[in-house]
Structure 1
């Protein structure tokens, strides 16, 4: 039998040693079909020669107990790669926790948009096979470290990959925020709120509020007012090395959200301080991945040309 060039190339790739020997799967376990998807991918990884574990909540909620169940600390210590099966929310949740351990992550999209879970489920096999053997593009994403200060004491802290959002409560009135950058007064802004977003988060809430798209390679954050009282209050891009401080001057029932996954209530005089985290998320993409391909597909831009 004569092998074609493509067949020889495929055999050569599959015979290469594994770059990632121990892979953990993190699943969107409450979604319909999640158990089947996680089980199918686990079998695929096993057939490729990987040791396979499940994140402990994924294991508990899917009932797949034939694989070791690991908490975040154990994943950080033992695993070479985390495979996230779900949507961007699933990636945000586990990504913030694993960033401190330097574990790289790959996203398989079972959600709706999938800006950072960018491998379609229906082609994960042919995409993951070369990635497991070292054929990938690495993409470092900045995180934000946020703290809330009250009467000189830190009362809340969180890490955010997408955004930190300070907004008003359910009452129909604005809040007023004193905004400082690196200790310099910027303005007192009256608005429904203010978003501080990373390049990753620039395609999320910040985009819907009129903010710009920031390429992941840009070392900066963007401040985007939500429905400002003064229409000249526009989005501003800030160097990522800066410290941004917001003080609650007036307004009722204000709160701070971090990636829309954790929340704390705010009082008058509270200060929310946001700076770049010392950790970064390591995202892996297939060879040939392009940020602009992602934007074009997910935002339904004209695909001509």
Structure 2
């Protein structure tokens, strides 16, 4: 596993990535940048993020340049913002710190109203570090790869909104698993188990678990249930029947597929490193985001 830039050397250059054109985000970005500069760090803004703020003397870098030059990246926004930059920075193993200015915040876990004291502690070395797996996938047509991408959450093969059910033939490690008629199939990482896969009835997977969840979307046969596979598995999904079938990666990259195209999914060799405040716990995140700490009151309302 590649070494973590954040822990292996003093932090010198920190990139700031923000949700593009988000209302009011410029103030947060400026506050973070000023804090970092005053603490003796070099600051760089991601090129789209720079459009939201007066960058001053800070560098403006592409995601690839951030990967090559930054020791860490602070991501301000929601989980979608984190997904987008994490997929691009994964090959460079730049550790990511997430500040939540979105709605849910499974991955951007630091509240924006507490970000300054938390960042001060983290940059002083008071951190928890964890690594998350990714998936890579490709579309094969007549045995030739025509599309490739990576996913942090999930790879989803699904029917068009106006089409009937899709019929998919699934193999795992060269072994026939089943023919499935459904609205589609989700192949999710442990991180993605709290996203679309969860809404489709899939299981929660701890991010430290080496597994891949395969979750059918509205299957025709109720016996088609979610299954967790080893993360060493190679999954091949052949489109047997259906119209307007697409494959998407984290709902950010899409490709249209035809009958008898195969979508091949496996674990990526890259990982994403998250940095959290000292004392962070995945179970704390689940309790907060899934409201496990709330109980019905006598009036039937959550409290």
Q: TM-score, normalised by structure 1?
A: 0.92
Contact 1:181 1:244 in 2 (8 A): yes
Distance in 2 between residues matched to 1:92 and 1:127, nearest whole Å: 22
Q: 2:193 aligns with which of 195, 199, 202?
A: 202
Distance in 1 between residues matched to 2:199 and 2:10, nearest whole Å: 39
1:116 equivalent in alignment to 2:77: no
* DSSP-derived class of the 1:146 partner: strand
* DSSP-derived class of the 2:94 partner: coil
Q: 1:254 aligns with which of 214, 237, 245?
A: 245
Distance in 2 between residues matched to 1:153 and 1:63, nearest whole Å: 47
1:139 equivalent in alignment to 2:130: yes
Contact 1:223 1:236 in 2 (8 A): yes
Which range moved further: 87-96 or 71-80?
71-80
Q: CA deviation at 1:289?
A: 0.4
Distance in 2 between residues matched to 1:285 and 1:71, nearest whole Å: 24
* DSSP-derived class of the 1:107 partner: strand
Number of the residue aligned with 1:13:
none
Q: CA deviation at 1:92?
A: 0.5
Distance in 1 between residues matched to 2:133 and 2:200, nearest whole Å: 21
- Over 6 Å off, 4+ runs: none
Number of the residue aligned with 1:67:
58
1:152 equivalent in alignment to 2:143: yes
Deviations 1:132-189 (A, max 9, x none): 1222111100000100000111110000000000000022410000001001000000
Q: 2:220 aligns with which of 209, 219, 229?
A: 229
Contact 2:136 2:148 in 1 (8 A): yes
1:190 equivalent in alignment to 2:143: no
Number of the residue aligned with 1:20:
11
Q: TM-score, normalised by structure 2?
A: 0.92
* DSSP-derived class of the 2:292 partner: coil
Q: CA deviation at 1:245?
A: 0.6
Distance in 2 between residues matched to 1:190 and 1:289, nearest whole Å: 41
Q: CA deviation at 1:302?
A: 2.5
Deviations 1:42-73 (A, max 9, x none): 11111222111101111134453542101122
Q: 1:263 aligns with which of 254, 266, 269?
A: 254
* DSSP-derived class of the 1:83 partner: strand
Number of the residue aligned with 1:55:
46
* DSSP-derived class of the 2:48 partner: helix
Number of the residue aligned with 2:84:
93
Q: 2:71 aligns with which of 60, 64, 80?
A: 80
Number of the residue aligned with 2:5:
none
Distance in 2 between residues matched to 1:21 and 1:123, nearest whole Å: 23
Deviations 1:82-141 (A, max 9, x none): 000001100000001111111100000000000010000100111111211222111100
Q: CA deviation at 1:244?
A: 0.5
Number of the residue aligned with 1:40:
31
What number of residue pairs does the alignment pair up? 287
Distance in 1 between residues matched to 2:56 and 2:140, nearest whole Å: 43
Deviations 1:8-28 (A, max 9, x none): xxxxxxxxxx93221000001
Structure 1 runs not aligned, ≥5 long: 1-17
Alignment of 1:171-182 (within 5 A): 171-182=162-173
